[in-house]
Amino acid sequence: MTEKRSELPLVAVVSDGVLPGERRVLNAPAVDARVLAKLAGAQGTSVLALTVTHAGEVPSLITGRWGTLCEVEAPPEAPHSIALRGISRARIVKCKGAESAPKVEVSFDPTLGAPASERSTLDALRLIVNVAASGAIRDDEREGSLDAALLATARALLPREILLDFVAVTAADAPARIASLLAAQAGARLGAQELEALVRKAAGPEEMPASLRAQLYAQVVEIERRLDVFDPSVPYEEGDDAVRLTRKLQQAGLPKSVRELVKSRLKSMKLSRHDSSDYATQVRNLELTAKLHWHPTPRPPVDLGRVREALDRAHHGMQKSKRRIEEWVSVRALGGEARSTVLCLAGPPGTGKTTIARAIAEALGRPFGRVAVGGMHDECELRGHRMSFHAAAPGRIIEEVARSGAMDPVLLLDEIDKIGTDTSRSPSAALMEILDPEQHTHFQDNFLSLPYDLSRVLFLCTANEIDKVRGPLRDRLEVIEIEGYSSGEKCAIARAHLLPNIAKELGLTSEPPASDAVLLDLIEGYTREGGVRSLRRALSALLRDRAFALARSGVREGDPQPPQGALTIEDTRRVLGAPRASIKSVPSELPVGASVGLSVSGDGGSPLLIEAGRLPASKPGGELSLTGHLGDVMRESARTALSHLRLYASAYGHESADVSGDWFVHVPEAAVPKDGPSAGVALFVAMLSALDGVAAPADVAMTGELSLHGAVLAVGGVRAKCLAAERAAMRKVLVPKGCEADVPEGLSCEVVVIERARHAVEALWPERAKEKRP
């Protein structure tokens, strides 16, 4: 297509120019007075209108820019002004003349001013959609002029102030600019459409549902907050707390019952002296009332795929725990009867309980808040102080809800097992009200002194030892066990999460590769935990050594860094020293009368060495001595194991007289209290080893409760115990038949399921498998 060039007078318009197809009347100071005088009475003259930010841009800074070809029309009634009608766009090739009367040589396509047909407009819209999807324009789309169609499309979709910027854009770049502008406005357009749909439903003839009423009212309250809508009849003076709080409370959307109480408090505050402590307390109370959200925020439907994606991004493995969380979220999304159940994540430190809670909040699109209740000894920390109390303050629950900026945040009650248990001002008693669905719909904070609905708050709890939570409070919780990671899972977590995050924190542009051998050496030789906190500290020490070496070599922030070499076992020994946590907490060979049990605590599972011995009876019938800080239940397990051995002595190749005598049972680490029934099988094996004079294998650990007649019963914490056996390099683990479903997958040690005491004997001493035993 032939390009046409013309020389035209220039009209520089400050700030607001002329669009093709529109008529504008311009006067000073938007246009230089000398230019206005020169064009007065020049009807029909063609000029080029160019938008500039200030007159200093002319003539030196305008070459190559786009303006609007205009025609001067009949003079308007207003004096010292001109009327211009935009025709099409034109590009400035050269600027000539002085600042007072410049002329420009322009190039333009005569088809640019042609009216846009319906077909060309559809082509332009299609082009915009393609650009929005791919971010580029194909070569075949660059051919031919869609300029007029693009202008028509933009005029229908975009406001005028944005179109002025569009005039100065080339035709090839126009679709991308329009697509980006439309994308930026998509959120506002969608919100306006949703609000319009709500209003149409509310104006319908049928009765408005309660859910629709709450959703619409929440939108109205948010609009009032953003637009700062208030009663104009209330006079305003700078520094007047009463007027400031009145306006805030007007925008809070308070329920009718609350509104009357707040009015009386405002009146009381106005009558108080400004220098009194009561006045300051009343101001804080009203500010809290205005800050709280009294109506639920509309939320999008729960996306279970997004929930799973957030959990997988935050944690590796733990498929059973993730599935249970998904089920719990699904029930809440459906509004089922269990929607008020409070989830409690129980497990050893460092297993990611808090991270799971954050992932749930992220997946649900809700704000996240955390209240550390560990160590609380006063219910006022949860319920707040009464306003008559000096330096009164709200409770942590209401304070965190107000800080979240929503009525339905995800609120994490951290370390619930470490909360104080005082009988006089017990915070756990206050928690029972907060977590009870029958009571928390009208929760009343002592400081707020107004009923507030906590039923929409999504409460989550964490605990290290769920058994330490009081029974009535425990009854309100749905417990999900987070029992730690296997060595393989820790290796995967170290590569996928720990190493990249630590490298970024330390300023390294890349993380060093680490083999399984190095990671297993760190896990087994320097850490002994169910979680990964100690592993993170060990990896941080290794990467800090790399960062220190780079800094000493002169590398600074922004400089290119050489590739990181692989971590080696020599690096771990040089930086961390000799292994501090032995991979075995038991001897490589057991003496006669010893066995390896398994225990679980708030720090995860661990091997438990049990020792037994027999001496001639010091008195008729003999006696049983138990040492090692054992609890009542474990003492009963030892008596049961000995009684079973006496009852069935012949089945184990002994006479009843052989079993008589004084028995001694000791569990090392006497300073650590130990209790529970799960050591029954290990106690029996230690006594049988002492009776036979044959040592048990040191690489076989066991757990399970033993009945009087030799049945092995199910116990808790089997996953954590199996992981502890793996960390202790056990070859075989004996678990009760009833706990088979709790055994983690991918263990490096063999798992043997036992139902009777004889199965344990056969697993330990295979050569005795043919003997008849109970």
Q: Which residues does the annotation mark as catalytic?
A: 678, 721
Q: How far apart are CA 768 and CA 643, in angstroms?
A: 22
The SS3 assignment for 145 reads: coil
Mind giving me the DSSP string for 577-641?
A: -S-SS-S-SS-SSPPTTEEEEEEEETTEEEEEEEEEEEE--SSTT--EEEESSB-HHHHHHHHHH
Q: How many helices (H) and strands (E) does the chain have?
A: 28, 22
Q: What is the CA radius of gyration of the chain?
A: 39
Which strand (E) or helix (H) includes residue 327? helix 319-334
As beta bridge partners, residue 69 has: 48, 88
Mind giving me the DSSP string for 340-398?
A: GPEEEEE--TTS-HHHHHHHHHHHHT--EEEEE-TT---THHHH---TTSTT----HHH
Please report where in the chains the tokens 């690096």 appear, as a residue. Answer: 571
The residues, any chain, with a CB within 8 Å of residue 373's CB and separated by 6 or more, are 382, 396, 413, 414, 415, 416, 418, 419, 427, 431
Q: Which residue, among 279, 330, 278, has the nearest Cα to 308 in the 3D structure?
A: 330
Listed in sequence order, the DSSP H helices in 31-185 are: 33-39, 118-134, 139-142, 147-157, 160-167, 174-184
- Cα angle at 643 between 639 and 647, to 5 degrees? 175
Q: How far apart are CA 2 and CA 21, in angstroms?
A: 23
Q: How far apart are CA 192 and CA 557, in angstroms?
A: 46
Which strand (E) or helix (H) includes residue 67? strand 66-72
Cα torsion through 321, 323, 324, 330, rounded to 10: 150
User: Longest C-alpha distance within the chain, in Å?
Assistant: 135
